[in-house]
Amino acid sequence: MVCKTWIDRFSSYFVIFCSVIIFAQSDVPRPRGVSLSKASLYLPTKDFTCFDGTATIPFSYVNDDYCDCFDGSDEPGTSACINGVFHCTNAGHRPQNLPSSRVNDGVCDCCDGTDEYANPTACTNICEELGKEARAEAQRVAELHKAGSQLRIDLIEKGNKKRNEMAEQLTQLEKDKSEAEKIKAEKELLKNDLEMKENEVLKVYREAEELEKQKKLDQEKETNLKESTEHFNRFDSNNDGELSVDEIKVVNVFDRNKDGQVDDDEVKMFLGGDEKVDKDAFLSTTWPILKPLLMMEQGMFKPEDAKTDTTETEAEENHEELDADFEGNEEDNSDLDLQEEHEEDETVSEQSKSYNDETQKIVDQASEARTQYTDAERTVREIESNIRNIKQNLEKDYGLEQEFASLDGDCFEYEDKEYVYKLCMFQKVTQKSKNGGMEVGLGNWGEWAGPENNKYSVMKYTNGIACWNGPSRTTTVNVNCDLETKITSVTEPFRCEYKMELSTPAACDDSSTSQEHTSHDEL
Ligand code: MAN
For residue 325, being part of any structural domain is answered with: yes
On whether both 267 and 364 belong to a single domain, the answer is yes
The bridge status of strand 85-88 relative to strand 96-99 is: antiparallel
What residue ranges in 247-355 does DSSP mark as E strands?
Answer: 276-278
d(CA 517, CA 512): 9
Q: What is the CATH number of the domain that holds 504?
A: 2.70.130.10
Arithmetic mean of pLDDT, 106-110: 95
- Choose one of 125, 142, 162: the last residue of a domain: 125
pLDDT above 70 covers a percentage of the chain that reads 82
d(CA 497, CA 7): 57
Q: Atom 12, ligand 1: which residue's CA is nearest?
A: 468
Task: Check pLDDT > 90 for residue 335.
Answer: no
The alpha carbon dihedral of 372, 374, 377, 382 has a sign of: negative
Atom of ligand 1 nearest to the CA of 498: 9
On whether both 53 and 200 belong to a single domain, the answer is no
The one-letter code for the residue type at 388 is: R
1-29 confidence digits (pLDDT tens) = 333 443 344 344 433 433 444 443 455 78
Question: Would the pTM count as exceeding 0.95?
Answer: no
Q: Domain range spanning residue 375?
A: 178-394
- Choose one of 360, 394, 428: the last residue of a domain: 394
Residue 63: which pLDDT band, with cuts at 50, 70 and 90?
very high
Instruction: Please name the helix (run of DSSP H) or strand (run of DSSP E) that holds residue 486, with its range, or none.
Output: strand 486-494
Residue 301: which pLDDT band, with cuts at 50, 70 and 90?
low
On whether both 389 and 422 belong to a single domain, the answer is no
pLDDT in the model for residue 304: 53
Provide the domain count of the chain: 3
Contact status, residue 252 vs residue 324, Cβ threshold 8 Å: yes
On whether both 413 and 384 belong to a single domain, the answer is no
Q: What DSSP state is assigned to residue 125?
A: -
Q: What DSSP state is assigned to residue 467?
A: P
For residue 250, being part of any structural domain is answered with: yes
The bridge status of strand 56-57 relative to strand 48-49 is: antiparallel
Task: Check pLDDT > 70 for residue 344.
Answer: no
352-382 confidence digits (pLDDT tens) = 467 889 999 999 999 999 999 999 999 999 9
Whole-Å CA distances, 359 to 47, 196, 295, 370, 424? 113, 13, 42, 16, 57
Arithmetic mean of pLDDT, 176-203: 96
Task: Check pLDDT > 60 for residue 325.
Answer: no
- The residue that leads in pLDDT, 144 or 307, is 144
Arithmetic mean of pLDDT, 106-128: 94
pLDDT in the model for residue 356: 86
Within 8 A by CB and 6+ apart from 233, the residues are 239
For residue 132, being part of any structural domain is answered with: no
On whether both 319 and 192 belong to a single domain, the answer is yes
On whether both 377 and 435 belong to a single domain, the answer is no
pLDDT in the model for residue 213: 95
Burial class (CB in 10 A: 0-12, 13-18, 19+), 522: middle
Tell me how many degrees the CA angle 4-10-12 measures, rounded to the nearest 5. 80
Distance 421 CA to ligand 1 centre (A): 12
- The residue that leads in pLDDT, 513 or 246, is 246
pLDDT in the model for residue 302: 56
Nearest to 458 by CA among 408, 499, 409: 499
Arithmetic mean of pLDDT, 184-208: 94
On whether both 388 and 414 belong to a single domain, the answer is no
Instruction: Please name the helix (run of DSSP H) or strand (run of DSSP E) that holds residue 433, with its range, or none.
Output: strand 428-433
Contact status, residue 427 vs residue 407, Cβ threshold 8 Å: no
On whether both 189 and 321 belong to a single domain, the answer is yes
Residues with CB under 6 A from ligand 1: 431, 440, 467-468, 492, 495-496
On whether both 459 and 390 belong to a single domain, the answer is no
Pocket mutation for ligand 1, best pick of 467, 473, 474, 498 (most atoms within 8 Å of C-beta): 467
The span from the first CA to the last CA of the chain, in angstroms, equals 37
Arithmetic mean of pLDDT, 60-73: 96
On whether both 194 and 236 belong to a single domain, the answer is yes
The rounded mean pLDDT for the chain is: 85
d(CA 413, CA 431): 10
- Choose one of 125, 159, 192: the last residue of a domain: 125
Pocket mutation for ligand 1, best pick of 421, 440, 497 (most atoms within 8 Å of C-beta): 440
d(CA 359, CA 369): 15
Q: Which of 97-106, 190-199, 333-342 has the lowest mean pLDDT?
A: 333-342
On whether both 277 and 367 belong to a single domain, the answer is yes
Contact status, residue 485 vs residue 503, Cβ threshold 8 Å: yes
405-423 confidence digits (pLDDT tens) = 999 999 999 999 999 999 9
Task: Check pLDDT > 80 for residue 516.
Answer: no
Q: What DSSP state is assigned to residue 282?
A: I
On whether both 286 and 261 belong to a single domain, the answer is yes
Q: Atom 9, ligand 1: which residue's CA is nearest?
A: 496
Task: Check pLDDT > 60 for residue 180.
Answer: yes
Distance 419 CA to ligand 1 centre (A): 10
Q: Atom 4, ligand 1: which residue's CA is nearest?
A: 496
